[in-house]
């Protein structure tokens, strides 16, 4: 079974004096690497050498930037990192140059309606490029891996491919979730330290969900998935795309989208990756804002499903996490945590951040008002994705990979 390990890598401009993320960026990512630093990509690529495999695998690196004007600089930076090493596996690099080439092929074929899937802007679009990379490399399985992680288990790839494409409890296995191990060997988040964190309750809910990692059996249904440790069979990635309407948490949203179409992620409690993230540079109110939008849009998709939809799911199907944030009391959670966060900022004399907390409450109230038909919108996106995957062989963009053009 042919596998492609796909690694999105996120970059931003040079480090600012205060070390904070520039919030006026076009796109915000948790761990975007400053262009004037070494970053973590080389470390991640080096860790592939520990994998003990009987068959070869391909690697694709997807280069993303926080600002439009630095895309070319990011492409050159990533190319320079890849060029430093003599790897025993082929590496496909996807950056803005490749997208320009592919868009030209689409235009020449009169298929510009599929341009929407050729984007390096935002988490979900980047993940769709990861799925496309797996398709272009002829993979049966896409293995999503992030650049702030390392492989330390020599048997990781064998475990990743052990069940995928087979059967489990009488059902096809099309998607498997692994998990992250912290530097200290644990897989739980540290307990909340601040009052607003305790009121928000995401750490508590996530740790409650993560408890299944330590339980038997080895494979079991899961309400969560980690974006940097996902194993997706082509029968799923050729059918179901990530949803660009979701700005953050695209991994768990993908789990939800897969469930809409009858595909259930199974957690493998032996499939682990060491997670070594650099500190987040965006302030907590900004991270919460993206979560507010994310959960509200997921709630809207659940709310607008037809009652007779064959893959009908409910918020309760995702308890304890993210189910806690998909229910009718979501705005109350936002308001309670945001007011407490605002109080803590105010006590610290951070008036601008205090105001942003209050803006979050207003955003939550606005997002809770159902607009349009988000489920139907996703179905249209899914239909176009399937069409795009089917017509890819007729467009000839593989020549960007094999060098025939």
Concatenating the DSSP letter of every residue in 276-305 gives -PPPP-S-HHHHHHHHHHHHHHHHHHHHTS
Taking residues 26-33, what's their average pLDDT?
Answer: 82
Tokens in use for 142?
């896409």
Between these two residues, 140 and 403, which has the higher pLDDT value? 140
Residue 390's alpha-carbon distances to 16, 117, 284, 386, 393, in angstroms, are: 45, 13, 42, 6, 7
pLDDT at residue 21 tops 90: no
CB 181 within 8 Å of CB 272: yes
Tokens of 394: 């007729």
Predicted confidence band of residue 13 (pLDDT cuts 50, 70, 90): confident
pLDDT for residue 109? 92
Residue among 233, 132, 221 at smallest CA distance from 174: 233
What was the pLDDT predicted at 393? 84
- Residue-level pLDDT at 22: 62
3-class state of residue 316 by DSSP? helix
Residue 403 has pLDDT above 70, yes or no: no
Lowest mean pLDDT among 326-330, 341-345, 398-402: 398-402
Does pTM surpass 0.75?
yes
Express each pLDDT in 198-225 by its tens digit: 999 999 999 999 999 999 999 999 999 9
Burial of 363-392, coded b for 16+ CB within 10 Å and e otherwise, reads: bbeebbeeeeebbebbbebbeebeebbeeb
What pLDDT is stored for residue 400 in this prediction?
43
Among the listed ranges 208-217, 272-281, 329-338, 345-354, which one has the minimum average pLDDT value?
272-281
Residue 323 and residue 223 in contact, taking contact as beta carbons nearer than 8 Å: yes
pLDDT for the residue 254: 98
Backbone CA torsion sign across 248, 7, 149, 28: negative
Of 30-34, 169-173, 278-282, the range with the lowest mean pLDDT is 278-282
Element holding 179 (H helix, E strand): strand 175-181
Reported confidence tier of residue 404, pLDDT bands at 50, 70, 90: very low
Nearest alpha-carbon partner for 287 in 198, 346, 353:
353
In 117-142, which positions are buried (b, 16+ CB within 10 angstroms) versus exposed (e)? bbebebbbbbbbbbbbbbbbbebebb
């Amino acid at each position: 079974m042919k596998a492609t390990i796909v690694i999105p890598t996120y970059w931003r401009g040079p480090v600012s004096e205060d070390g904070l993320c520039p919030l006026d960026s076009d796109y915000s990512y948790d761990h975007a690497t400053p262009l004037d630093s070494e970053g973590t990509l080389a470390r991640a690529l080096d860790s592939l050498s520990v994998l003990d495999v009987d068959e070869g695998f391909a690697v694709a690196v997807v280069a993303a930037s926080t600002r439009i004007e630095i895309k070319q600089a990011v492409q050159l930076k990533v190319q320079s990192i890849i060029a430093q090493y003599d790897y025993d596996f082929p590496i496909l690099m996807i950056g803005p140059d490749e997208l320009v080439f592919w868009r030209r092929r689409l235009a020449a074929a009169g298929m510009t309606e599929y341009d929407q899937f050729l984007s390096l802007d935002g988490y979900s679009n980047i993940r769709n490029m990861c799925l496309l990379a797996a398709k272009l490399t002829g993979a049966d399985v896409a293995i999503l891996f992030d650049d702030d992680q390392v492989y330390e288990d020599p048997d990781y790839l064998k475990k990743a491919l052990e069940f995928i494409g087979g059967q489990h409890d009488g059902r096809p296995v099309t998607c498997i979730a692994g998990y992250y191990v912290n530097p200290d060997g644990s897989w739980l988040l540290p307990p909340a330290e601040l009052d607003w964190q305790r009121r928000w309750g995401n750490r508590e809910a996530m740790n409650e969900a993560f408890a299944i990692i330590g339980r038997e059996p080895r494979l079991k249904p899961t309400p969560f998935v980690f974006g940097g440790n996902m194993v997706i069979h082509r029968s799923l990635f050729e059918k179901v795309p990530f949803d660009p309407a979701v700005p953050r948490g695209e991994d768990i949203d993908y789990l939800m989208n897969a469930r809409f179409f009858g595909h259930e992620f199974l957690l493998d409690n032996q499939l682990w990756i060491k997670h070594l993230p650099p500190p987040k540079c965006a302030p907590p109110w900004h991270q919460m804002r993206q979560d507010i939008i994310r959960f509200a849009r997921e709630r809207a998709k659940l709310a607008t499903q037809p009652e007779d939809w064959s893959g009908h799911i409910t918020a309760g199907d995702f308890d304890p996490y993210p189910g806690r944030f998909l229910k009718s009391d979501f705005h109350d959670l936002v308001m309670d945590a945001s007011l407490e966060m605002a109080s803590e900022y105010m006590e610290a004399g951070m008036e601008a951040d205090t105001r942003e907390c209050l803006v979050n409450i207003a955003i939550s109230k606005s997002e809770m008002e159902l607009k349009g038909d988000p489920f139907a919108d996703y179905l249209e996106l899914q239909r176009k994705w399937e069409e795009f995957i089917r017509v890819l062989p007729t467009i000839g963009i593989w020549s960007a990979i094999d060098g025939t053009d």
